[in-house]
Amino acid sequence: MFKHFNNIESAFKYVKGFTVFIITGCLLLCCFALYKSYNLVAATQSHIYILANGKALEAITADRKDNIPVEARDHVRMFHQYFFSLDPDDKVIQANLTKALYLADGSAKREYDNLKESNYYSNIIAGNISQQINVDSTLIDLDQYPYYFRCYATEKIIRATSIATRNLITEGYLRNVSRSDNNPHGFLIERWNTIENKDLKIQNR
């Protein structure tokens, strides 16, 4: 009789242990499934599709800190393109300079005022001169804030009789600001300064 009770107690312990094992396994499986589902949803939400020219292009969202070097270099490049790309048309000059001045502080405005007072833009229009710029490279120091940058570029000044190629080196600092349509990267150039702007060669046309 006691042996019968011992068998029942052992069977009960076995069933109890097996039940606990099954429940624990189910809980772990549910937690794993929830974790994987959350990761899948997060990964799906980080991908968006942009329709451009009738084609769906995939874009991936990322933290700003992952894109700071790329966005900072593009911000500097855009500013220099707008500030130095000039044609003998007052409306084109004003449109480009307005876009450039949204990307920088008063240091760029002072440079613009100095050029305007020296009749630089009037001479471009009167002489039918075009000015083009190609940004060769931009160095960004992310170890300090505001971020220091140095920009290396090549200018071409196209006149009726000649093409002058100039070497341009500028420096400044980048400060974080709110993004907007006029400032899509969310940086502002401060203490902008031209280090070098000299002729490399002059070619007759």
pLDDT score of 79 more than 90: yes
Give the three-state DSSP class for 176. strand
- Return the number of other C-beta atoms located less than 10 Å from residue 160's C-beta: 8
- Return the number of other C-beta atoms located less than 10 Å from residue 149's C-beta: 21
pLDDT tens digits, one per residue of 5-40: 456 667 667 777 778 888 888 888 888 888 887 777
pLDDT at 1: 46
pLDDT at 165: 94
Burial class (CB in 10 A: 0-12, 13-18, 19+), 119: exposed
pLDDT at 30: 83
Tokens 């270099």 found at:
73
**Tokens representing residue 205 in the block:** 């046309």
CATH code at 64-204: 3.10.450.230
Task: Tell me if 128 sits within 8 A of 90, measured CB to CB.
Answer: no
CA dihedral for 15, 17, 23, 26, sign (positive or negative): negative
pLDDT score of 189 more than 60: yes
